[in-house]
Chains A and B, each alone.
Chain A
Amino acid sequence: DQQVKQNSPSLSVQEGRISILNCDYTNSMFDYFLWYKKYPAEGPTFLISISSIKDKNEDGRFTVFLNKSAKHLSLHIVPSQPGDSAVYFCAASARKTSYDKVIFGPGTSLSVIP
């Protein structure tokens, strides 16, 4: 069973516009959420995270929103740039449990068109 879902395999956005990537989770024990970016032939790199005690976290052009009641989070990138073209993974963990396995979604491939 897939505990972290990213239902859009791909997304295309014009340069300068907003990119919105969505993620849903099923495990109510998850309390820490992360977004990673991956270029081909490289390992994923950390972008931004949010704890379940918050509903928003912002870092430069990147903002993550968390809706715990809907078990949904989203990553907003504004303005989008061609260099943002990559695969984005949503991930979640249950840090208050005795171990903290991090579970990843299947990813969304973002293309930012110049």
Chain B
Amino acid sequence: DTGVSQNPRHKITKRGQNVTFRCDPISEHNRLYWYRQTLGQGPEFLTYFQNEAQLEKSRLLSDRFSAERPKGSFSTLEIQRTEQGDSAMYLCASRGANTGELFFGEGSRLTVL
């Protein structure tokens, strides 16, 4: 399977704990995106990488959120000191330089108790 892979698929944590999600994009794609989706809403843009460079971060991304793509391949999204409001589906997507559409992974669902 050469699609976008995300893990874990589901994470349940207690408030105040740190969590990390991983995304493996389609191998030849140099652009990688993180989105957050809550019930009844569309995917909300969080951040975007071109190769290893993080080109933009949304104002939604507080100081507790950090994303990396150290070698321009896989990416991680870490949330520190989780809050109940962080409960959401975290979606990763990738696309190539010459294609328009984003290819999404199946998402990582975070539940903060």
Contacts and interface: CB of A to CB of B under 8 A. Distances in A.
Are chains A and B native binding partners rather than an unrelated pairing? yes
A38 B23 CA distance: 19
A46 B4 CA distance: 13
Interface residues of B, number: 24
Given A43-B4, A102-B33, A89 B42 contact: yes
Contacts of A43: 4, 91, 93, 104-107
Contacts, number: 58
- Binding site secondary structure of chain B: strand
B65 interface: no
Contacts of B105: 43
B53 to A, nearest CB: 10
Interface of B: 4, 31, 33, 35, 40-45, 48, 50, 55-56, 91, 93, 100-107
